[in-house]
Chains A and B, each alone.
Chain A
């Protein structure tokens, strides 16, 4: 019989799946739910050593002898301190040990609680990974515990071996009413994709899936055959390859799913749900990630990443391939067999082909739409944040360009400086699309000597239009005071401090004239400031979403 405490069940389930059998146990109450569960499970071989310092040293010797990771567990407080000398030695000698330290509810730390010290990260500097499991209260806690234990156990033998800590909080001691231990999700990290056996295994896994969705995150590599490999993969496995401009890989075969996913509600997404999501590249800005989360467990997620990090944002991660994506797809494409049918690709394609656009008026949507039509081939494009990012992706850039954005931390602050850095090493024309608030943040950077290939498209709607989209003046009459931070600044007044030619536009005719000059090579950098109204901008974006929700499409 097993404990009913979910965080402890997760530890036990994953210890078993990682084939960690040997555990050295010291007496105590707080770790009893773990100890009693494993001592009655024949899978485990348990050893009893009272003094934790001796217990950890014993485990170290045991691990050396059997060549496997060994765990040890103790109650809370100073008991856990006793593990440190052996952990230090294990770290230096690269011995894989697992300290399973029982703890109390973190909220009670230093609040007259008995036997409680700060055990989180208590072995810093001498463990390869330390995780802290909360008392499970909801599905997010389960997800967090599952992921954390996987992260720790995967680290045991990554690159060099060494010790880890799994700290787990226990409040009430629960009971032992669970007859069958639930199987929690194991995450595998595959580092040797070069093995033919492994290659074949995952190819056969792929062939068993009929709905494969490859989501391409932010990615740029000047020399890569990723596009070609993805095209082959898409053909062979009938996979949908979802890209946006930050992926810097375009093909007629790939689909820009952001055109529909941002407007889709979660119920509609269920019809397009994949069996398998493969993610590549860095950050994915599309809200498809949040919508997929709602169906966690109904599909598998494989992540392909050169540094093998665990990104379980879809809450369904099962495999991490630690390699360059082009290598992964090359291996998976090494097959003659082609999956039958084109149903899944067609399903998405048909939906995307129905995308409609509202009447833009003279809004940021219109400006970006006109601009994207005219970006010259091989330009560099930096999109600052929010509307600059999404509206550009909702439009079509006909020619290949290199696209960047500070999507990682998604900050409003450094877009201009980053763009200046990028375009200083790009020979051809380089464009920044930026809003007024973002530009204001980085105004100091405008004092640098701009280069003649640099072009700044500044859409000034005198406020943070994002907040007009999120809240709207009708619902929040005070919106402009602090949240949208409205202002009356026109950057024409600052231009005398910059070495740029200044253009401005307030209507389609002026924009047309200005853009013609803006996208041409010149011997001077250009700042084009275009004025719109934040609330109208927000309403137009909402109209786009409304128009592309399914009910509107059907009507």
Chain B
């Protein structure tokens, strides 16, 4: 269905497509012939992607296609609000899993039209699609699309290592596919992919207010969704973040340090490194660089 939609708009002269990275695999399924006529920009943060699409739409004075995952559609809210005021033709395609209940009522004030496309028959929606190219303001098309399984962090061994050095008073927030109840000595709180936005902000708030020790274990790439939280007054000595990074990632060492975090980069983990990390009297970031990245 996404292919048909892109094909429809390309045939009508649309040339610019912005895709959020959570659904970027959709691009690989598009025929090369279709892609060759398009400028496709992939952007991580859906809020940034929406504003980026706005920028392209008002400079080009043409409609622009924005493709995002439905589960992160709320991050389009600010950008689409501005697009509505500027009457920008930002055609937003939100890809929703078959099982997801679609509700975009909150977007009504900032879209000129919104539809859910459940069937494979695009003709039934021809008028909305045609109008989206000429009428002023953004249009929302919620499209059913079953995403491939989400990559989750496969470094359960970290938890095993942490289990050796933490106690029952400790809490670990872990981005990955585990259930909360896994028999570790510490309390394990897993973070689902759909909750990946603001994961560091949430942890900063938790560590600031909770009396107990807590640890955040996430891939470094989640920083892309939450970079600005480090410029905060609420980093306390109990803040401890363990980032898992591939060797190619840039590391914001100076940024961490200027924001009062002790930062250490290691290429292996053992009990000694972890003990030092958890016993530090300063807020700390430990970056574990792994060959081959996180999968």
Contact = CB atoms under 8 A, between A and B. Distances in A.
A494 B252 contact: yes
Contact of A406 (B82, B87, B250): B82
A409 B83 CA distance: 9
A353 B166 CA distance: 73
Interface residues of A, number: 47
B250 A414 contact: no
Contacts of B257: 493
Contacts of A423: 55, 59
A496 B18 CA distance: 26
Given A307-B136, A425-B59, A426-B59, A417 B51 contact: yes
A409 B47 CA distance: 15
B255 interface: yes
A490 B228 contact: no
Contacts of A447: 44, 224, 227
Given A445-B45, A445-B48, A424 B56 contact: yes
A496 B136 contact: no
Interface in A168-197: none
A412 to B, nearest CB: 10
Contacts of A210: none
Contacts of B52: 417-418, 420-421, 424, 445
B82 A448 contact: no
A425 B60 contact: yes
A411 B82 contact: yes
A380 interface: yes
Contacts of B225: 444
B43 to A, nearest CB: 6
Of A220, A283, A416, A444, the most chain B CB neighbours within 10 A belong to A444
A443 B227 CA distance: 6
Of B59, B224, B258, the most chain A CB neighbours within 10 A belong to B59
A380 B81 contact: no
A406 B52 CA distance: 12
Interface in A374-419: 380, 382, 402, 404, 406-409, 411, 413-419
Contacts of B226: 444
A555 interface: no
B219 interface: no
B82 A408 contact: yes
A409 B59 contact: no
B231 A409 contact: no
B278 interface: no
B54 interface: yes
Interface in B64-119: 78-79, 81-87
B86 A441 contact: no
Interface string A211-237: 000000010111000000000000000
A411 B78 contact: yes
Given A282-B86, A408-B86, A220 B61 contact: yes
A409 B85 contact: yes
A309 to B, nearest CB: 9
Given A421-B54, A421-B55, A282 B85 contact: yes
A422 B59 contact: yes
Contacts of A65: none
A414 B48 contact: yes
Nearest to B110: A409
Interface string B229-254: 00100000000000000000010111
A16 interface: no
Nearest to B59: A422
B262 interface: no
A413 B61 contact: no
B231 A487 contact: yes
A419 B60 CA distance: 13
Interface in A293-308: 306-307
A493 B48 contact: no
Nearest to B57: A421
Contacts of B250: 496-497
Contacts of A443: 227-228
A19 interface: no
A409 B82 contact: yes
B175 interface: no
Given A409-B82, A487-B231, A496 B55 contact: no
Nearest to B86: A408
Contact of A496 (B41, B43, B58, B252): B252
B55 A222 contact: no
Contacts of B53: 421
B90 to A, nearest CB: 10
Contact of B79 (A220, A414, A493, A497): A414
A400 B136 CA distance: 27
Given A441-B228, A443-B228, A447-B224, A380 B59 contact: yes
B67 to A, nearest CB: 15
A474 B45 CA distance: 40
Nearest to B226: A444
B16 interface: yes
A335 interface: no
A413 B78 contact: yes
A221 B61 contact: yes
A489 B254 contact: no
A255 interface: no
Nearest to A448: B43
24 contacts: A218-B86, A220-B59, A283-B85, A306-B136, A404-B59, A406-B51, A406-B54, A407-B85, A409-B82, A411-B82, A416-B48, A417-B49, A417-B52, A421-B56, A425-B16, A440-B231, A441-B228, A444-B47, A487-B231, A493-B255, A493-B257, A493-B259, A496-B250, A497-B250
Given A417-B48, A417-B50, A494-B227, 19 more contacts: A220-B58, A406-B82, A408-B81, A414-B54, A414-B82, A415-B51, A417-B47, A418-B51, A420-B55, A421-B52, A421-B56, A421-B57, A422-B55, A425-B56, A442-B51, A444-B47, A444-B228, A493-B254, A496-B255
